[in-house]
Chain A
Amino acid sequence: MEIPANIPTTPPPASKLDLQKIKELLRQASEKLKADPKMKRVLVFAGAAFGVIFALLIVGTIAKSLMGVRKVQKVSPSPTPTATQSALPEILNPSRYATDSAVLSIEDTVKSINQDAGSLDIREYNLRPPTLDFGINFTK
C-alpha cells in the first residue's frame, strides 16, 4: 500500500517548539528552586505531608477491607426456615380481576399492613417510669 503524497512525513515544527519551551521552563524552575532553599524546604515538607496522608489512606483502606472480610466470616447459626401456610386458600377459579393491577396493588398494601399489625408491640416495657426512692428520712 502506497502512502499518499499529500500526507506529511515529519511532525509539524510547532509541536517541537512547544516541547522545547516546556523543557526550558522546567529547567528555569528547577534552577530557581535550587537557588531558594526556603522554597525547597516548603516543597519537601508538602511532599512529605502528602506522602503521610497517602500512606494513611492506604493503611485505612486495607484495615477497612480486612474488617469487612472478618465480618463476612462471622456466620451466626440461624434456624431452618419453616414453611408457613397462607391464611387464605389459593384461588382455583380466578375472575378477570385476579390479574388486575389495581387489585394486586391493593392486595400488596393490605398484606404489608397485616404483617405490620401482626408484629406490633404496643407495650414498651423499657420505657416504664424508673423506680426511685422518694422516702428519704433520718428518723429511726
Chain B
Amino acid sequence: MKRYLVILALVLGTLAFLFAAGKALSEDLTFSRAYADYVYNMDLYNKAHSDYQVARANYLQYGTLISKQNAQDATLKMLQARDEVIKTYLTALRARLSEAAGVSTDKKNELFALIDTEVSWIINHEQSLPSAGSLDDLVKDSNEVKDHYGPVELLIYRVLTTIAVGKTTALRDREQNVLGPLNTKITEIKANGDKDTTVAERGVLDIQAKLARSQAKEDEAFGIVQDMKATASNKNSIYDDALDSVGQALQYIKESGSLLMQIITNIKTKD
C-alpha cells in the first residue's frame, strides 16, 4: 500500500512540476511586470535613503563608534538599494524596447547588448558592496557608480528616443504602404478617363514630401541625443528637445493622413 502511495505522490508531483515549469517558461518578462519590479525597488530605495540621511546626520553630530557603525550599515543598505533601482530600471527599459513597434530587430539587438553590459556591471558592483570595510570604502564604491552613471544615462536617453521614434516610424510605414494601392487606383482612374486625377496626383506628391520631412525630423531627434555629453547636467531637457522633434515628425504624419483622406474624398466625388 505504501509503495502505491509513494508512486502516486511521485506521479502527481512530477505532473505539478511540469505544469509549473511550463507556465514559468511561457511567461516572458513583460514590460508591466518589469516596471512593477522597478517601482517596488524605487520605494525600497527611498526608504533606505531616508534611513541613510538620519544615520549620516547622527554620525556627523555625535561622531561615536556606534553612530559610525549605524551610518556604515545604513549607507551599505542604501547603496545596495540604489544599485537595485538602476538594475530594475534598465531591465524595465529593455522590456519596453522589446515591445516597441517600428524598431528594427538589428537596432533592438544592438541596444539590448549595451543594456545587458550595464546590467552586468551594476550586478557586479552590488555584489562587491558588502566587502567594504569602512565608510570611506563605501563612499569610493558610491563614486564608482556616480562616474559610471553618466554614460548609462546616455544609453537610457538613446533607448527612450529610439522607442519614441519607433512609434512615428511605424505610423509612417503604414501610410507609405497605402500609397502603393492608392497610386494604382489613381492610374486606373486616369486610364478610364472619366475623372480628373490632377488633384489626387498632386496630393500624393505632397504626402511624399511630408513623409520625407517626417523622417528628417526623426533623424534630427537622433542627432540631438547623439550629441548629448555624458557630463551634461541638463540631459533631461536635451531629451525633451529630441522629443519635440519627434512630435514634429508626428505632426507631418498627421498632415499626410489628412491629405490621404482628402484624396479619397476627391476620388469618391463626381467632377
Contacts and interface: CB of A to CB of B under 8 A. Distances in A.
A130 B83 CA distance: 11
Interface string B148-169: 0100010011001001100110
Interface residues on A, range: 35 or more
A5 interface: no
B185 A129 contact: no
Interface residues of B, number: 69
Given A117-B257, A138-B56, A107 B264 contact: yes
A127 B195 contact: no
A128 B82 contact: no
B238 to A, nearest CB: 12
A49 B194 CA distance: 79
Contacts of A98: 268-269
B18 interface: no
A31 to B, nearest CB: 21
Contacts of B111: none
Contact of B167 (A42, A122, A135): A122
Interface in A85-140: 87-88, 91, 93-98, 100, 102-103, 105-107, 109-111, 113-114, 116-118, 120, 122-124, 126-130, 132-138, 140
A103 B267 contact: yes
Residue of A45, A109, A130 ringed by the most chain B CB atoms within 10 A: A130
B153 A114 contact: no
Contacts of A95: 194-195, 267-271
A91 B271 CA distance: 12
A94 B178 contact: no
A110 B264 contact: yes
Contact of B59 (A87, A120, A127, A138): A138
Contact of A120 (B156, B167, B260): B167
Contact of A117 (B38, B56, B171, B269): B171
A102 B181 contact: yes
Nearest to B88: A130
Interface of A: 38, 41-42, 45, 49, 87-88, 91, 93-98, 100, 102-103, 105-107, 109-111, 113-114, 116-118, 120, 122-124, 126-130, 132-138, 140
12 contacts: A88-B261, A93-B269, A97-B189, A97-B195, A107-B261, A117-B253, A118-B254, A122-B168, A127-B93, A132-B45, A136-B138, A138-B135
Closest 7 CB pairs of A and B: A134-B146, A136-B142, A98-B268, A114-B257, A95-B270, A122-B164, A110-B260
Interface of B: 1, 4-5, 8, 35, 38, 42, 45, 49, 56, 59-60, 71, 75, 78-79, 82, 85-86, 89, 92-93, 96, 135, 138-139, 142-143, 145-146, 149, 153, 156-157, 160, 163-164, 167-168, 171, 174-175, 178, 181-182, 184-185, 189, 194-195, 236, 243, 246-247, 250, 253-254, 257-258, 260-262, 264-265, 267-271
